[in-house]
A and B are shown apart, each in its own frame.
Chain A
Amino acid sequence: MKDLFSRSLQTTIIFLIVGGILALAFGGFFSSASNRFTGGLVSAQYWFAIRYQAIQQFLSAPRDIVSLRASNAELETEISQLQTQVIDLQQRVSQTEILAALVDFSRANPESSYKAASVIGRDPSPFLHYIIINRGSNDGILRGMPVVTNQGLVGRIDAVIADAARVQLITDPAATVNVHLKNANTDAVLLGSVTGDISLDMISQDAAVQSGDLILTSGLGGGYPPDLIVGQVINVRKLDYELFQQATVQSAVDFTRLDIVLVITNFRAVDITPLIPTPAP
């Protein structure tokens, strides 16, 4: 009984001492000592935390690189897909612009009916100026039909198969087009060349041709319908001892950038060869 009492007393005294110390500590009486203690504790915790984070980073880094590489590859794929999409859309926009211009042209010239065609190739021989289009006899294309763009005359159909046709450009050395100079009110013949330049010949010496004059098809000879824009006169060569004047021409059409053309399908070329008199032997 005595032992039990003395143990209870001891425990009570210990609790009282500890409680007193805590009360003094919370009361700020041990601030310097508690600061040292907590400072050491925080330092130790900081040391452990830093080491732990370093180890954690070291262990998890390879996994992050793999995942980063994977996401990088995904993003690169996405970028390339988007770039392809952008190119495709740009192409569509440019085609739409061309088609819109061609639609405007066909609306402005309702007397003709048109069939749009894409340019799919050029003649393999550099001596010849021909293009190949993706419309043929299945689309009602016939030999001799004129080919235009919204800018002006391109040429005429030279040969046709079921799904494609070959077009002789007006720049071909063998191409001749009867034209009319609007301002000078005179007729002339447009000639192509090996270099792709076009020129005018057979201009009457009396005609007052000036640079900038508009050149239209005359319709003579039955090869082309009248009043299709061909180009403009750049400069005129007039020599008194020659029968005719000549002129160099700036074509209305950029033949290096032919993508889409229009075939005039309601025009039938007339072959006047049998009507040309042959010299008697």
Chain B
Amino acid sequence: MRNIIAIPLFALAVILQSTIVSQFSLLAGYADLILVMLAAWALQKGVTTAFQWAFLASIMVGAISHMPWMVTLIGYIGVVLLAILLQQRVWQAPLLAMFTVTFLGTLFMHLLSYLYLRFSGDPLPLGDSLGLITLPSLLLNLLISIPIYGLMRDLASWVFPIREEA
């Protein structure tokens, strides 16, 4: 039941992304708060609802973005899958897993966006997209990943409290 927190949480995250985070740009790129939050959430122990959260987040982002929500959904599902895969393999180093998911997830998300826009006819030079958008966004996502991971860990311990063994 505590998973309902996802609704106000992502609503707030989308508002913050649209109003504040997108203003702090590096070259032409900026951080993706929602992607990093999803990655951090999916990496937490005991979390079983990461896919539902990804679905909810993609609908909310799709409501305000020109990017179709299906593209966002595929991207976020990919991030969650990657996080679950890595959580099972590098569970002893959560921050390393967080950095890896953020890095690969950002690349995957940007690749999807690039391919969609290219196929829909937008002239996007690959060099400019990579150098001026993807790499700066990657750096910013990695920067915010540490505090976001901490916040999501606290949230996960509230949503899924560890039961004491009798």
A174 at the interface (CB under 8 A from B): yes
Stretch at the interface among A35-43, A116-124, A226-234: A116-124
Q: Please report the C-alpha to C-alpha distance between residue A125 and residue B110 in the assembled complex, in whole angstroms.
A: 9
Q: Are B29 and A124 in contact (CB-based, < 8 A)?
A: no
B110-155 interface (Cβ within 8 A of A): 110, 113-114, 117, 120-125, 128-129, 132-133, 137
Stretch at the interface among B36-44, B63-71, B82-90, B157-165: B63-71
Q: Are A194 and B132 in contact (CB-based, < 8 A)?
A: yes
Shortest distance in angstroms between A265's beta carbon and chain B's nearest beta carbon? 22
Given A173-B124, A194-B129, do A126 and B137 touch, yes or no (CB 8 Å)?
yes
Q: Are B61 and A195 in contact (CB-based, < 8 A)?
A: no
Q: Please report the C-alpha to C-alpha distance between residue A195 and residue B134 in the assembled complex, in whole angstroms.
A: 12
Chain A: CB-nearest residue to B123: A173
Q: Please report the C-alpha to C-alpha distance between residue A194 and residue B67 in the assembled complex, in whole angstroms.
A: 14
Q: Are A124 and B122 in contact (CB-based, < 8 A)?
A: no
Given A121-B19, A194-B125, do A130 and B66 touch, yes or no (CB 8 Å)?
yes
Shortest distance in angstroms between A130's beta carbon and chain B's nearest beta carbon? 5
A132 at the interface (CB under 8 A from B): yes
A158 at the interface (CB under 8 A from B): yes
Shortest distance in angstroms between A213's beta carbon and chain B's nearest beta carbon? 24
Q: Which of B14, B28, B122 contacts A126 (CB 8 A)?
A: B28
Q: Are B19 and A127 in contact (CB-based, < 8 A)?
A: no
Q: Please report the C-alpha to C-alpha distance between residue A121 and residue B65 in the assembled complex, in whole angstroms.
A: 10
Q: Are A123 and B125 in contact (CB-based, < 8 A)?
A: no
Shortest distance in angstroms between B14's beta carbon and chain A's nearest beta carbon? 7
Given A124-B18, A124-B64, A166-B64, do A195 and B23 touch, yes or no (CB 8 Å)?
no
How many A residues touch B, CB cutoff 8 Å?
22
A191-236 interface (Cβ within 8 A of B): 191, 193-196
B100 at the interface (CB under 8 A from A): no
Q: Which residues of B contact A158 (CB under 8 A)?
A: 66
Q: Are A173 and B113 in contact (CB-based, < 8 A)?
A: no
Q: Are A123 and B122 in contact (CB-based, < 8 A)?
A: no
Q: Are A195 and B128 in contact (CB-based, < 8 A)?
A: yes
Q: Are B28 and A195 in contact (CB-based, < 8 A)?
A: yes
B30 at the interface (CB under 8 A from A): yes
Chain A: CB-nearest residue to B17: A124
Q: Please report the C-alpha to C-alpha distance between residue A196 and residue B25 in the assembled complex, in whole angstroms.
A: 12
Q: Please report the C-alpha to C-alpha distance between residue A193 and residue B161 in the assembled complex, in whole angstroms.
A: 48
Q: Please report the C-alpha to C-alpha distance between residue A123 and residue B34 in the assembled complex, in whole angstroms.
A: 13
Q: Are A174 and B132 in contact (CB-based, < 8 A)?
A: no
A269 at the interface (CB under 8 A from B): no
Q: Are B122 and A173 in contact (CB-based, < 8 A)?
A: yes
Q: A123-B22, A127-B129 provided; 8 other pairs, C-beta below 8 A?
A: A122-B23, A123-B18, A125-B65, A127-B110, A127-B113, A173-B117, A174-B117, A194-B28
Sampled A-B contacts (24; CB under 8 Å): A120-B19, A121-B18, A121-B64, A122-B18, A122-B23, A123-B22, A123-B64, A123-B66, A124-B18, A124-B61, A124-B65, A126-B22, A126-B29, A126-B133, A127-B133, A128-B67, A132-B64, A158-B66, A159-B66, A173-B122, A174-B117, A194-B132, A195-B128, A195-B132
Interface set of A (CB-CB < 8 Å, partner B): 120-128, 130, 132, 158-159, 166, 168, 173-174, 191, 193-196
Interface set of B (CB-CB < 8 Å, partner A): 14-15, 17-19, 22-23, 25, 27-30, 32, 34, 61, 64-67, 110, 113-114, 117, 120-125, 128-129, 132-133, 137
The 9 A-B residue pairs with the shortest CB-CB distance in the complex, in nearest-first order: A121-B18, A122-B22, A174-B122, A173-B122, A124-B17, A125-B67, A126-B29, A126-B133, A127-B113
